[in-house]
Chain A
Amino acid sequence: MIRVSAFSRSLIVLLIVALAVVSAFPFLWMVLSSFKTAEESMQTPPVWIPGTFDLSAYSSVSEVIQTGRSLWNSAVIASVTTAGILVTSLMAGFAFAKYSFRGRNTLFAVMIATMFLPPIVTLIPLYRMVSEMGLSGSLVGVILPNLANAFGIFLMRQFIAGVPDDLIDAARVDGASELRVVFSVVAPAVVPAIAALALFAFVYHWNTYLWPLTVLQGATDEYPIVLSLGRLLSYNRGAMNTPLVMAGATMAVLPPLVLFVFLQRFFVDSMISAAVKG
């Protein structure tokens, strides 16, 4: 009996290893290819492990697209957007969790509904609106429309609902303003949720492509790294430039991947609680 279970257990472990290899394979290929020489990347059958760890692709990609500047733009877009989302979500989440007012549930439902709206449905008028505000081609134009989102409000409401009313009332008795209550009393009580939302928003806005592409079209100095990667298209035709393209991809993938690996506890827990409570 024990032998059978040990056997099936090792079978499961084998399956897990196989699946992990399949799942990680594109990442491995990406990183390995970025170290290849042009000759190695053109060989058939393909070279799996590069002969030398050639880093020249990383410097040549930086000559083709402004990787430093692009990474900086990505960091600005992702962090400013995240900060905005945190502030607006905390405030609105607090109000939806702790205030009662007429039309609260309707307003909440309308906001939550926007979570399920594919961005393409609003893209074209939004592009025109942002152009008429004089913001096309600027980072402000990329950031401004995304400073509030339904997922953040939803997540904050779920967690703030669990903060004891006594704590909030005590602060009010001490003369704290409502804003002060939100940021000095409620926020410290929901730090894990804030961390989860911050990471999620940062990664999402680091990765997002459609909106920056539409607002920034052509303003390459303002491009985040994902748009600059898109500019490598013409280098993507032949195999010769594969190391260069893969070096660019590695640079774009690394920041969100590192954040995720170190902080996945927050990510995954918040995903689960959002799914379970929703």
Chain B
Amino acid sequence: MIAPAAGLIGIFILVPMGLTVWLSFHDWSTQTPFHTARWVGLRNYEDIFSNISVGRDFKTALRNTAIYTALSVVILLPLSVLLGLLVYQRNVRGGQFLRTILFASYMVPMIAVALVWSKLYAPTEGPLNQILGWVGIGPQTWLAAPQTALYSLVLLNVWQQIGYFTVLAVAGLTQIPGALYEAARIDGANPVQSFFGVTLPLLRRTLLFSTVIAIINAVQVFEPVALITQGGPAGSTNVLTFHIRRIGIDRSQGGLSSAMAVTLMLALIVTVMAIFAMNRRAEKQ
């Protein structure tokens, strides 16, 4: 019964994952069979953390990914709780409607979203600068300048994913027994106090799950970079998924890109473990 699923996952996920680790210690061109790989020990890792251009590019991509991920999480999570509270309001019509619209952006191809946003961001004929002009804010450079390009991608990401995290927040809110709010109210708590005293602590598990998913989603950003910015301007949007694919597929440096992929995986594991540890410590208090 398990054989088909286990076989497929084994062959197409676990084997390549093992190969990625193995290849990271080898010099290997992606265009040649695996047996042509030549053992080089830790040299790929030394290279990607060195100060030659290979290392500089990788470290930039790592930093860009970290910034993009951290900003996405920091904006998405609080916003998802706020929108969740709004959508969850039973006595107000329109909540369901808003949820549908918010979630819709999560269900469409990111490549189409990237194309549309490249037009929204267009400096002269784009609508965003036009709208900013109405409220007296000068035109922004958006994707065209290194200072703003990465943040513009974060904004795009927040727009696309907020509906999903709002639904997760609603799922968490439905789990909180109404009696607890009632008890807080009887104790004389105002809405703000009951939010911080009841809602937020009981949402902790949901928020933990959301944080992990948001991190993993953010690390995968690829389409807007591949389609619009190509990692630029000046490397400012060169993120890991794009960079690893460029090195490993377009430039066929399979060993080097594998070392990058392993580093990404380790960084993810460490980050997620740190978040769980922080959560456990907070729970104890």
Contacts and interface: CB of A to CB of B under 8 A. Distances in A.
Interface of A: 9, 12-13, 15-17, 19-20, 23-24, 26-27, 29-30, 33, 41-46, 48, 87-89, 91-92, 94-96, 99, 107, 110-111, 114, 116-129, 132, 144-150, 153, 178, 182, 203, 206-207, 209-210, 213-214, 217, 225-226, 229-230, 232-233, 236, 239, 242, 245-246, 248-250, 252-253, 256-257, 259-261, 264, 267-268, 271-272, 275-276, 278
Between B4, B34, B109, the greatest number of chain A beta carbons within 10 A of the residue's beta carbon is seen for B109
A178 B125 contact: no
A120 B264 contact: yes
A209 B224 CA distance: 11
B23 interface: yes
Between A88, A120, A210, the greatest number of chain B beta carbons within 10 A of the residue's beta carbon is seen for A120
Interface string B96-136: 01111111110111111101111110101111001001000
A211 to B, nearest CB: 10
Contact of B264 (A114, A121, A144, A260): A121
B1 A118 contact: no
B206 A125 contact: no
B44 to A, nearest CB: 13
A278 B14 CA distance: 22
B220 interface: yes
Given A209-B109, A230-B226, A145 B249 contact: no
B77 interface: no
B125 A107 contact: no
B94 A114 contact: no
Interface stretch (B45-53, B162-170, B179-187): B162-170
A257 B262 CA distance: 36
A233 B98 contact: no
Given A23-B159, A92-B6, A33 B119 contact: yes
A254 B18 CA distance: 39
Interface stretch (B192-200, B238-246, B277-285): B238-246
B264 A275 contact: no
B93 A13 contact: yes
A239 B105 contact: no
A24 B105 CA distance: 8
Interface of B: 1-2, 4-9, 12-17, 19-20, 23, 30, 33-34, 83, 86, 89, 91-95, 97-105, 107-113, 115-120, 122, 124-127, 130, 133, 159, 162-164, 167-168, 170-172, 174-175, 206, 209, 212, 216, 219-220, 222-223, 226-228, 240-241, 244-245, 248-249, 254, 257-258, 261-262, 264-265, 268, 272
Contacts of B262: 121
Contacts of B222: 120, 209-210
Between B1, B12, B170, B219, the greatest number of chain A beta carbons within 10 A of the residue's beta carbon is seen for B1
A43 B12 CA distance: 50
20 contacts: A19-B98, A26-B116, A41-B125, A43-B125, A94-B1, A116-B272, A118-B219, A119-B220, A120-B264, A124-B254, A126-B16, A145-B8, A145-B13, A148-B8, A178-B1, A225-B109, A230-B226, A246-B115, A253-B109, A260-B104
B142 to A, nearest CB: 14
Main secondary structure of the interface of A (DSSP, over half): helix
B109 A207 contact: yes
Nearest to B109: A207
A275 B113 CA distance: 26
Contact of B20 (A121, A148, A203, A239): A121
Main secondary structure of the interface of B (DSSP, over half): helix
Given A29-B120, A92-B6, A125-B16, A46 B33 contact: no
Given A203-B107, A210-B245, A16 B4 contact: no
B107 A118 contact: no
B119 A16 contact: no
Given A210-B222, A256-B109, A132 B33 contact: yes
Given A13-B92, A122-B17, A276-B171, A91 B4 contact: yes
Contacts of B108: 207, 252-253, 256-257
B109 A128 contact: no
Nearest to B91: A9
B112 A252 contact: yes
A52 B246 CA distance: 43
A148 B264 CA distance: 24
Contact of A239 (B30, B107, B122, B241): B122
